[in-house]
Amino acid sequence: MSSDFSRCLSLLRQEKGISQRAAAKDLGISQALLSHYENGVREPGLAFVIRACDYYNVSADFLLGRTLSRDGTTIVSPDELYDYSTEKDNVLHGSIMATLNKKLLVNSVGVLFDLLGKTGRKDAITAAAQYLGTAVYKLFRHLYRADGSQNEDFFSVPTRQFLTGVTTADMICSEAEYVDALAAHVKEKGSFPTMNNDALMESYPGLYQSLLQIIHNTGERVNRQLSSHNAQR
C-alpha cells in the first residue's frame, strides 16, 4: 500500500479534529495499530480500509491516493480542466497588478511542472502540487475569514488547527517528500533536463522571463530580510 494511504489517513483524522485514541476506538482497533497504519509501519486489510472510508466519508480511491476528489471522481485528461488563460480577455476584474502577478506565477509554475514532467517522477510532481495547493489554500482561507463574518464550516480543517499551523506543517511535509523524491531520482541515476540559462531560455522563450522575475524578486526580498535580521543582532 502506498505512502499516500498512511499520510491521507493521518490528515483525515486531523481534519476531523479527534485524537488518535478516539479514532482508533471508533474504528474498532487499538491506538497502537492505528499509529502503525498512519506511520506506514503496517498495512491494513480491506475490512479496515472500508471502515475508514465510511468513517471519514471518503472513497477508497481518495484514501489510497488514486484521486484528488473525496468522492472518487477522477479527471480523465488535462483537457477537462478549465484554462482561464485561453480566454481572450483574461484580465482579472479591477486590478492590473493582480493580473500581472497571476501571470508571473502561472508562467513560472508552468516551467516547473514541465521540467518535473521530463524527469518522470510522479512522486515529485505530486509533492510539488500538494505544496503549492496548500499554499493557495492558506492564502484563500485567510482572505475568506478576514472580515470575520464568514462561516468557516465551508472548510473541513477546524479553524483552531488552521490558525495553529497544521497547513504549514502539511507544506513542510510536502516539501520534504519533494526533496526525497528528487534525491531518489539522483540515486537511481535518473536524468534531469538541462537547466542552465541558455537552455531554459530556448525551451521556454515566453515563460522563462516570469521565472527569472520571481527568482530575482524573491532573492532581493529574502536577502533584505536577512540583512535586517543581522543588523538587529
Give the chain's mean pLDDT. Answer: 86
pLDDT at 76 over 50: no
Task: Give pLDDT, residue 138.
Answer: 96
Give me the pLDDT at residue 163, please. 95
Give the residue range(s) of CATH 1.10.260.40 domains in the chain. Answer: 3-63
Strand blocks (E) in 119-170 = none
pLDDT of residue 86: 58
Place of cell 502539511: 170
> pLDDT tens for residues 1-18?
556 788 888 888 888 889
Give the number of other Cβ atoms within 10 Å of residue 158's Cβ.
Answer: 16
Q: What is the pLDDT of residue 8?
A: 84
User: In terms of pTM, does the model score above 0.75?
Assistant: no
Dihedral sign, Cα of residue 178, residue 179, residue 184, residue 190: positive
pLDDT of residue 25: 95
Q: What is the pLDDT of residues 27-36, one digit of tens each?
A: 999 999 999 9
- 136 vs 232 pLDDT, higher one: 136
CA nearest to 51, candidates 32, 34, 69: 34
Cβ(12)–Cβ(58) below 8 Å: yes
pLDDT at 156: 83
How far from 49 is each of 1, 46, 108, 121, CA to CA, in Å?
11, 5, 39, 27
Query: Band of the pLDDT at 135, cuts 50, 70, 90?
Result: very high
- DSSP secondary structure letters along 175-220: HHHHHHHHHHHHHTT------SHHHHHHH-TTTHHHHHHHHHHHHH
**Res 72: pLDDT:** 62
Burial grade of 95 (CB within 10 A; 0-12, 13-18, 19 or more): exposed
Q: Read off the pLDDT of residues 144-157 as tens digits, 9 standing for 90 and up.
A: 999 989 888 878 88
Q: Please state, in angstroms and rounded to a whole number, the distance separating the CA atoms of residues 74 and 10.
A: 22
d(CA 145, CA 163) in angstroms, rounded, equals 11
Question: Does the structural domain 3-63 have CATH classification 1.10.260.40?
Answer: yes
In tens, the pLDDT along 172-230 reads 999 999 999 999 999 999 999 999 999 999 999 889 989 999 999 899 999 999 888 88
Q: What are phi and psi of 219, to 5 degrees?
A: -60, -45
Distance CA 76, CA 80 (A): 7
